[in-house]
Amino acid sequence: MEKQMEIVSQLQYQNTQTLHKNPELLDSNILEEENCQLRAALEKLKQEQVECNEKCVSFQKSMAELELQVEQLKIHNDQAQFDSVYQEKYSILESYANMKVELAGKNNALSKEDKKTTLENGIDIENEPKEKELLL
C-alpha cells in the first residue's frame, strides 16, 4: 500500500514538474484528469484491501474454530468427523490463499498501469530522481 502511495506522490510531483517545463500543458486538463484517475484507482485498491482484511479476520476466526474442533475430535477419536473438519479447514485455507493471490495481482496491475500511464505522458518514473534526492 505504501508503494502505491509513493507512486502517486511521485506522479503528482512529476506532473507538476512537467507543467512547469511545458507551460502549454497548463491549458489542458489531461494530467489532472490522469491524476484523478490514479487517485480513484488507489482509493478503490484501498477499499479492496479493507475488504480483504475483513475477510482475513473472518478466515482466521473460522480457522480458530476449526482448530478447536480438530483438537476435540482428536480427544474423542472420531475419524469421520475429523476428516470432514480437516477438509473444511483446507478449503478455507485454499480460499484464503486465492484471495491473497488476487489482491497481490490487483496491486501489481495498478502499479503496472501507473507506469504505463506515466510513460505515455513522457515521464519515466523509474529514471526520474526521487523527491528525497531532489531535496538533497
Widest Cα–Cα separation across the chain: 78
pLDDT of residue 86: 78
Which pLDDT score is estimated for 125? Answer: 45
Q: Please count the other Cβ atoms lying within 10 Å of the Cβ belonging to residue 20.
A: 10
pLDDT at residue 129, as a whole number: 46
Q: In 10 A of CB 116, how many CB atoms?
A: 9
Length of the chain in residues, anyone?
136
- Tell me what pLDDT residue 114 has: 55
**Side-chain-side CA neighbours of residue 21 (13 Å):** 8
Q: How far is CA 107 from the centre of its chain?
A: 4
Mean pLDDT per 10-residue segment, the chain (136 residues): 72 75 64 79 85 86 86 74 79 80 70 54 46 41
- Using CA atoms, how far apart are residues 57 and 51, in angstroms rounded to an integer? 10
User: For the whole prediction, is pTM greater than 0.75?
Assistant: no
